[in-house]
Amino acid sequence: MVIAAPSGGGKTAIREKLLKCDRRFRFSITCTTRPMRPGEVNGRDYYFVTAGEFERLRKGGKLLEWARVHGNLYGTPVGPVVKLLEKGLIPVMTIDVKGARSVKKIFPETVTVFLLPPGLKALVRRLKKRREPAANIRIRLETAKKEIKEAAFFEYLVINDKLDLAVRDIREISDIECMKVPRKQAEIRRFSRELSEFTGP
Ligand code: 5GP
């Protein structure tokens, strides 16, 4: 599942709550060349890497997708995503809009969710709370202007007003998606095998 939102849209809070209350979801930790913010932990929030390390990962084909966001490089390591899928878990990627498009192209079964703050006031308040310098806030609002135009690409839109309700929406989306026929092939195969092996009541 890919969750994208304008910066300050509340992706991180949603992700943390989602992971805490539903063990089907696992965070796909991404890497970035952005400097660590106070309170962030390497290997938990991101893998913080140098531009050189990022380049080696990219050239070595280790990234599922990558993008330059607000002047920094961000990328999703492919290995952990594949491992989670193999275990039947749902990798949650909180990435930008361009990254969402790339992931959907490579894994068409990806469920894409666009998260919106309830309004501009809430968005600015969240950005200020992070103590971003005014110039950064301006850059992030400019990016948001471009990103909102991409909302139509996504399959679902969730308004992140109340955290609990937004998390509930995302879990419901996942429940519905899991019931779609293409995701139920194993069950269909099992029943059809049972039918073909049936020798009489
Ligand atoms: P921040 O610096 O605020 O943590 O993240 C800035 C933006 O980069 C956010 O929209 C975030 O979702 C996005 N982002 C984080 N990791 C990745 C990634 O691996 N790939 C892409 N394409 N975007 C990412």
CATH number at residue 57: 3.40.50.300
- Rounded mean pLDDT, 87-102: 93
Q: Which ligand 1 atom is the nearest neighbour of the CA of 102?
A: 22
| Residue 87, SS3 per DSSP | coil
Count the domains in the chain: 1
Percent of the chain exceeding pLDDT 70 equals 100
pLDDT of residue 153 exceeding 90, the answer is yes
Is there a contact between 92 and 15 (Cβ–Cβ < 8 Å)?
A: yes
- Rounded mean pLDDT, 34-39: 92
Residue nearest to atom 12 of ligand 1 (CA): 95
Counting ligand 1 atoms within 8 A of each CB, the residue from 1, 12, 32 with the most, and so the one to mutate, is 32
Radius of gyration of the chain (CA): 19
Residue nearest to atom 1 of ligand 1 (CA): 7
| Ligand 1 neighbour 147 (Cβ under 6 A) | no
**Residue 180 structural domain:** 2-197
Report the alpha-carbon distance of residue 57 to residue 23 in Å, rounded.
29
Q: Which ligand 1 atom is the nearest neighbour of the CA of 45?
A: 4
β-pair partners for 76: 65
Tell me the per-residue pLDDT of 174-184, one tens digit each, with 9 for 90 and over.
999 999 999 99
Is there a contact between 154 and 112 (Cβ–Cβ < 8 Å)?
A: yes
Q: Which ligand 1 atom is the nearest neighbour of the CA of 31?
A: 19
What pLDDT does residue 140 have?
84
What pLDDT does residue 108 have?
94
What pLDDT does residue 132 have?
75
Report the alpha-carbon distance of residue 11 to residue 4 in Å, rounded.
7
Looking at every residue in the chain, the average pLDDT score rounds to 92
Q: Which ligand 1 atom is the nearest neighbour of the CA of 5?
A: 10
Q: Which amino acid is at 43?
A: G
- Rounded mean pLDDT, 21-50: 95
pLDDT of residue 9 exceeding 80, the answer is no
What pLDDT does residue 120 have?
87
Is there a contact between 51 and 32 (Cβ–Cβ < 8 Å)?
A: no
Token pair belonging to 114: 């666009």
Question: Confidence band (pLDDT; 50, 70, 90) for 168?
Answer: very high
| Ligand 1 neighbour 95 (Cβ under 6 A) | yes
Q: Which amino acid is at 179?
A: M
Scanning 149-184, the segments in alpha helix (DSSP H) are 163-178
- Rounded mean pLDDT, 55-65: 97
pTM as predicted: 0.89
